[in-house]
Structures are given as C-alpha cells and as structure tokens.
Amino acid sequence: MKKLLFIIFAILSFSACTQRPVEEKIQPENINLTLPSLVKSGFVRLKEDQFIDTYTVKKVPGNENLVSFDLVENLPQSVYAYPEQPLQYAKSLRKVFLVNCESHGLTLVNSAYYTEFWGDGTKSPITIHNTSLARLYKNSPYRILGQVVCTGIYQH
C-alpha cells in the first residue's frame, strides 16, 4: 500500500513538473496618435475630440419617440482592441446612442473601436451593449444635444 502511494505521488509530481507554463499574451505599447486637424464632412464637433456623425441621426422605425445618433471619438492614443491581431490598433471609438424624446432618457446602445479615425476601418470585437446613462445625461453636453436632436427631428 505504501509503495502504491509512493508511485502515485511520484507520477503526480513528475506530471506537475513537465507541464508548460501558460504563455501570457504581451500587449503592444500604446502609440501617441496625431489627430486630424480638419473636421471630416458630415461631422459636428461636440467636444474637443468627440464628433456627431450627422448622417446617422434619425428616428427609430416603429418607435417615433426614439432618435438614434452616433458619436465618434478620435483617440489621442492608440488602443489595443484586436486580440487576434496584435499589430492592429484602434484610432477611434464609435458609440451609438438612443434619445427618448418624451422621457429625455439617454441610452448607449453599443460602442466599438475602429482602426481608422472618424469611426472608419475595421470594427473591433470588443463592444459595450445597452448601458443607461440617466445620471450622466443630466449635466452633460449630451442633454443639450438630445434636446436639439429631438426638437429638430422628432417634431418633423
């Protein structure tokens, strides 16, 4: 019995020593990016590096109270957002928002990183979905934007 325990212990010890350590994926360092100096056609500046894509502002079909729009943020520093492609970096972040023109609520529907400025290029697999921004909305530029969008689009 003692020999059997000794043999089992020896086999387990040997197998533990022969396992390879798990390799950690090394993330490349972030790169400082030179932001575009000219605003691309179809975009309106909301903040320093945040822009509204005017081509995406529209009523949601089937629910006349909701208006959707995209906000694009050009990033000053690259983001590692493509785990399968370590040499690819994100230069912008595109967020899709819904504004409820009756309750004045704001919801972040989804957001994703893109390889080019202005929310163009390859979309990243890393995304955020359905986040309510009620607390942030009251004292933010998004509230004014929501009021302008609702006044201009909701009533027409």
* Element containing residue 136 per DSSP (H, E): helix 134-138
Integer Cα distance of 147 and 112 in angstroms: 25
Local confidence pLDDT in tens for the 156 residues of the chain? 666 665 776 676 666 555 555 555 565 677 899 999 999 999 999 888 999 999 998 888 998 888 899 999 999 998 888 888 878 889 999 999 888 888 878 888 889 999 999 999 999 987 777 676 655 566 677 777 777 878 876 555
End-to-end CA distance of the chain: 87
pTM summary value: 0.74
Q: Which CATH class is domain 42-154?
A: mainly beta
Integer Cα distance of 37 and 27 in angstroms: 29
Beta strand residue intervals within 25-88, DSSP E? 43-45, 50-60, 63-79
Domain coordinates in residue numbering, the chain: 42-154
CA atoms in the 13 A half-sphere facing the CB of 3: 0
- Long-range contacts for 56-60 (Cβ within 8 Å, ≥24 apart)? 56/96, 57/149, 57/153, 58/153, 59/153, 59/154, 60/98
**How deeply is 104 buried, as exposed, middle or buried, from its count of CB atoms within 10 A (0-12, 13-18, 19+)?**
middle
Q: Angle at CA 91, nearest 5°, toward 23 and 113?
A: 70
Residue matched to tokens 């350590």: 21
